[in-house]
Structure 1
Amino acid sequence: MKRLVLTCVMILAMPLFSGCQSAYYSAMEQVGIHKRDILVDRVEDTRNAQDEAQQEFVSALEQFRSVVNFDGGELEKVYSEMQGAYDDSAAAAENVTDNIRKVEDVSEALFDEWEEELDQYTSAKLRSQSARTLRDTKQRYKTLHASLKRAESKMQPVLNALLDNTLYLKHNLNARAIGSLKGEFGGIKRDIDRLVAEMQKSIKASDQFIKEMKQ
């Protein structure tokens, strides 16, 4: 990310919505940062976003645990803390999704450009070697992308369950509500455990992809 920081003035001066991505990539290439470099940086960002998200989900689980173990005090405060944990998890999940979209965008641009430039070779040998490298890179990316999407797909069901329970507590601030939520804890814990395990696999896949791309 250091190379991106060095060109932050230029980046901030350019609108970064999807329609301007090609102009963004062209501008970055003019300062020596190519799509391959941007892809690696964005995979690193996604890995970091997943690491943060899993921490937020675990924190939300612990907050939910404190709710079902509630044994006295201000229920309004308990609800407020549970709402905050949900909000933090939702924001972290959105950040993961945003980063995955950015990875998808630059990978598509990279592979399209690579395919087009194969036709520019005059050496059949070098063209063949480049085509083989492209196939290998696409396969590595396909494996990574599948892992990212699997982890991403497990976030929304957990968020839905957390929101349902948060809303229930909001409108039923009493001991009976706490008792009802106790029956929900086990299922949410299983889902969060599975989510964290999937994110760990995805983080490892990102590390492997980054390592291979930097070789």
Structure 2
Amino acid sequence: MENTNPNYRATLVILNDIEKNGLYHFNPKYHDEKFFLNFIGFQKGFSSSFSEVIRKLDDFDTKREDVIIFAVYSMMSFVNSHLAVFEKFLKIILDSTKLKGGFDEDTTLSQILKKVCNKMQYNPKLKNAIRGLFLADFADALAYNQYLISKDGHLIIYPKDEEKKKQISIDELYDDSLQVRAIFNAMLDWSDTTDDPPKNKTDTLDDVVKNLINQVNSLDRKLDRIS
């Protein structure tokens, strides 16, 4: 059955565009099969384990405020773990010699996305949508410890920067967790077909990004918040 999730479809189109434009190159230096297998196991076990821990905290009459903060931190970490995987995945498949300045172990997800978008000569709208898709601002904020969790259960990124400051609820974090899951699934499926003959695609990058931007209000708000 075809996966119609817009984040999944957008990721596939971007990866296909990378391959079509000659930016694909397997880098064994960054490849770690055990790392990805462990991550898949972690991803599968997180939901059930997370729910069980929350229930046990309730059983011990833990303060509601503490439970909420724990839940926000756990969900934030779950999302961020996916972003670290995305960074590693892109380093595995991208030809660093074709990107201005290349990249190394210290290059962040945000920096890699910028290099790819510039190389592909994407317009500003596409660049912002791709940053939103991969939660680049979220990744940067956590990488540089520019975040805090409020007592009312919100994750606030860039709390001291009035222009970049964003308040993210636990419901929005849950939406983000679904988004990163879809992206990761697309990466796995794309990896399984990189050696297949090219297929005609009905989607173009512009079409997919347009669909991303014009989705239901919840996704629109998320893209606006992160971009």
TM-score (normalizing by structure 1): 0.34
Instruction: Point out the structure with max Rg over C-alpha.
Output: 1
TM-score (normalizing by structure 2): 0.33
Bigger share in helix: 1
